[in-house]
Structure 1
């Protein structure tokens, strides 16, 4: 693997991890979904950790599949460079035959900001990266579409879509949802059920590099490499749609007792 810079590294690692997951999926099959999920999480995590130790030995890493002790290592909070990775985002979709809405996330946080990232969508044969961010759609489609969870779409997003005339589109992993915004399959992703930093760091890095809007649902900044890696909510959208969504969310919150 030839490494030119952090953006390229993120893309290469995410892509190779995804290729390994495709091979694993084909070899193990779908009869035992739990075994396939566990094997995918483990294999991708081990590959990414080994690669980062070898290629960026001085950097810290925050991974979904790390132990709690590793995640809470105080050295991460004082490090200037931290890789935030989700080795397999969307394990449910990964374990279901025919589904392509799962991903591999690799992001780099430096001195308070995300500076590089990649989202591999292996079953879609593409990787979105900060090295070459996708070109956003020029116009907001009407009615606009909001990506939501397949299994637990927030009720307030249903209300938001109804109020603003939008449509809901169920998609699997968070990475696949944000990628769908960047590739024109939807215009926004709104989530308020909580998630972790590794669920969004890489796709947010790519979204920002592409010129999309990315924030908390109240418009405040998304922050990463925190002691507690929990993020309560997120909004990613085409930039022209963001003011409408933020205003709609504020109105809904004012009306909530």
Structure 2
């Protein structure tokens, strides 16, 4: 039986084969209730495969996925799969290549194994707790930037609203990618100095990427600097800030309710 990380890698490749057989712009799609965004037949096909593949191999693990019905029994499981079948569904629909499969395993609230896979770019990001992070088997090292002035940060425009920065919006260079998992992978790769989101964030969007970032040497917390914990009752965090460690204090916004 493969170890947890090998299992995630194999499952991610299988997910890529399923998703790439369905052309995004031609995929059947519909909108989720409650303005929760679009979903396609590819999202559901990948979710079904991953649920059967992963839980078939680890029947005692809990399950948390964007496209599966809530299963409260996960809260009593020590280990849980946290999965986004396709992170960046809108990009998938548009025919872009910047969508990803995000697969993680958390034990007692901490991610222990993670894969972010972009099949149409042949990018396989992998991390294991205490074992480092790699891209296509090459080790990753996050940015060691010291100066926030001009730092390249992946952040949506609302994250730079002046109300969030009482001492002034930091003098960063803003960039954006639609997939949160990919943004975190890019921080792990050192291609960007940081990424930040200040809205409530689903765990399946960030669990795998958070381990990639920290194992590459970045610091990943919620926007207030508090540690990230996974498999929570809500399945959400307050947001996420992953950055070169020296930049972290300067990139913490004022988060409502914090």
Select 1:66's aligned residue among 68, 71, 77: 68
The 3-state SS of whatever aligns with 2:40 is: helix
Select 2:150's aligned residue among 143, 149, 156: 143
Matches within 5 A, 1:1-257: 4-25=2-23, 30-31=25-26, 34=29, 37-67=39-69, 71-73=70-72, 75-97=73-95, 99-131=96-128, 133-134=133-134, 135-137=140-142, 139-140=144-145, 143-149=150-156, 153-156=158-161, 163-246=169-252, 249=253
C-alpha deviation, 1:239, in angstroms: 2.2
Judging by fraction of residues, say which structure has more helix.
1
The 3-state SS of whatever aligns with 1:65 is: coil
C-alpha deviation, 1:244, in angstroms: 2.7
1:13-47 Cα shifts (integer Å, max 9, x gaps): 1232123212222xxx5246736941111111011
RMSD over equivalenced CA pairs, Å: 2.6
1:189-225 Cα shifts (integer Å, max 9, x gaps): 1101222111111111222222211001110011111
In the alignment of these two chains, the number of paired residues is 238
Alignment check: 8 A CA contact 1:33 1:95 kept: no
With the length of structure 2 as denominator, give the TM-score of the two structures: 0.82
1:118-167 Cα shifts (integer Å, max 9, x gaps): 11112221111115613224542862111123xx6424389769733211
The 3-state SS of whatever aligns with 2:245 is: coil
With the length of structure 1 as denominator, give the TM-score of the two structures: 0.83
The 3-state SS of whatever aligns with 1:123 is: helix
Distance 2:28 2:90 in 1: 8
Q: 1:93 to 1:33 in 2, by over 3 A?
A: farther
Q: 1:166 to 1:155 in 2, by over 3 A?
A: closer
Q: 1:198 to 1:113 in 2, by over 3 A?
A: same
Alignment check: 8 A CA contact 1:37 1:94 kept: no
Q: 1:198 to 1:96 in 2, by over 3 A?
A: same
- Listed as ranges, the gaps of 5+ residues in structure 2 are 31-37, 135-139
The 3-state SS of whatever aligns with 1:163 is: coil
Distance 2:255 2:54 in 1: 42
C-alpha deviation, 1:241, in angstroms: 2.0
